[in-house]
Amino acid sequence: MEVGASMAMQSRAPGVGAGAGGRRSAFLGREKQARAGSLRVGAGTAGAAAVAVRARGTKPVAPLRCVRASRGNESLHNSVDEALLLKRKSEEVLFHLNGRCIYLVGMMGSGKSTVGKILAEVLGYSFFDSDKLVEQAVGMPSVAEIFKVHSEAFFRENESSVLRDLSSMRRLVVATGGGAVIRPINWNYMKKGLSVWLDVPLDALAKRIAQVGTASRPLLDQPSDDPYTAAFTKLSMLAEQRGDAYANADARVSLEEIAAKQGHGDVSKLTPTDIAIEALLKIGNFVAEHPKTYGQVGDLQADSQSRRIQAL
């Protein structure tokens, strides 16, 4: 997640926006125009729990804000077909989610914020970036600054507090920090919702991060190397240390699998929308495998039929 004063749409991912094809999304356009900009989460909507997210031993700071995936008048998708597929997949899972939050986990740069904003938009959920919430709670402008002035341990404590507070809320998509998976307590919080691992090859991650620089990601910031080498070397070490931690997630979205399905081996060709569609597919598979928690697949038709009958 990128660090900056404003939470509003820092990431301009290739494939997200007019530059990637230019056609406006038919179904998202009007809604986006109506709701452009950031939303304030107040007591009446997301609840007092969010407002209670505070750093330990630091003073209260600005109210929490969430962002929508809207980007002015630009389209989020490459084509109307893609937008419609995304919408259909989201309708399939919405009923089963029944307001449960979605937590995106994955290494730094795996696209948790970029894909998370698309999922939030299409599901009608609010989006939160847990790094941003930690910055707000601590009252510091960046994660890098928190690591420098305090420590990684201090950041991790606050990250857990943020996840705890978010876990009492509903209808959120949360982009967690890449290291959130290492603390078992965080899984207690994330298991209240549904977690999705964005599994991206290290080479692709290092290329993405090298493009934007490593300054905002303190664990990768090694001034002696060129940005790609610094990112690749450190990401490899972190991947080894973290072992299977990401695999605790309920669903796994493998970019290599999506690329193979699309008939090419290059994950860099995948758009964030491709990945969001696959995430919804994997969420759909997970809920279908857990009918006791998420309801039977097919309940959606029964539910909409009974609503239609009631409306007669």
Residues in touch with ligand S3P (CB under 6 A): 1, 108, 112, 131, 143, 177-179, 217-219
Whole-angstrom distance, CA of residue 307 vs CA of residue 297: 17
What is residue 214's three-state secondary structure? coil
Contact 199, 254 (CB under 8 A): yes
- What CA–CA distance (Å, rounded) separates 306 from 312? 10
Binding part of the chain for ligand ADP, among 106-114, 189-197, 242-250, 284-292 by CB under 6 A, reads 106-114
Q: How far apart are CA 236 and CA 240, in angstroms?
A: 6
Nearest distance, CB of residue 108 and ligand S3P, angstroms: 4
Instruction: Provide the 8-state DSSP code for 178.
Output: T
Contacted entry of ligand S3P, ligand ADP, none for residue 275, CB cut-off 5 to 8 Å set by kind: ligand ADP
Q: Which of 212, 146, 152, 213 is nearest to 180 (CA)?
A: 152
270 contacts ligand ADP (rule: CB under 6 A): yes
Q: Please name the residue that has the structure tokens 């399905």.
A: 261
Residue 165 or 199 with smaller CB distance to ligand ADP: 199
Helix (H) or strand (E) holding 229: helix 227-242
Contact yes or no for 276/115 (Cβ under 8 A)? yes
Task: Please tell me whether residue 176 binds ligand ADP under the rule CB under 6 A.
Answer: no
Number of residues that bind ligand ADP (CB under 6 A): 20
Q: Which of 106, 193, 284, 295 binds ligand ADP (CB under 6 A)?
A: 106
Give the one entry of ligand ADP, ligand S3P, none that residue 90 binds, where binding means its C-beta sits below a cut-off of 5 to 8 angstroms depending on kind.
Answer: none
Among ligand S3P, ligand ADP, none, residue 143 binds (CB under 5-8 Å by kind): ligand S3P
Q: Does 14 bind ligand ADP (CB under 6 A)?
A: yes
Residues 114-153 that bind ligand ADP (CB under 6 A): 114
CB of 199 to ligand S3P, least distance (A): 13
Using CB under 6 A, which of the segments 39-47, 139-147, 257-265, 266-274 binds ligand ADP?
266-274
Q: How many Cβ atoms sit within 10 Å of the Cβ of residue 193? A: 22
**Which partner, ligand S3P, ligand ADP, none, binds residue 282 by CB below 5 to 8 Å per kind?**
none
SS3 216: coil
Q: Which of 28, 32, 97, 111 binds ligand ADP (CB under 6 A)?
A: 111
Q: Which of 31-39, 257-265, 268-276, 280-288 is the region at the interface with ligand ADP (rule: CB under 6 A)? A: 268-276
CB 262 within 8 A of CB 5: no
Asked if residues 135 and 3 have their Cβ atoms less than 8 Å apart, the reply is yes
Cβ atoms of 128 and 65 within 8 Å: the answer is: no
| Interacting partner of 53 out of ligand ADP, ligand S3P, none (Cβ under 5 to 8 A depending on kind) | none
Q: How many CB atoms lie within 10 A of CB 214?
A: 23
Residue 208 binds ligand ADP (CB under 6 A) = yes
Q: Which residue has the tokens 């937590």?
A: 103
By a kind-dependent CB cut-off of 5 to 8 A, residue 210 interacts, out of ligand ADP, ligand S3P, none, with none
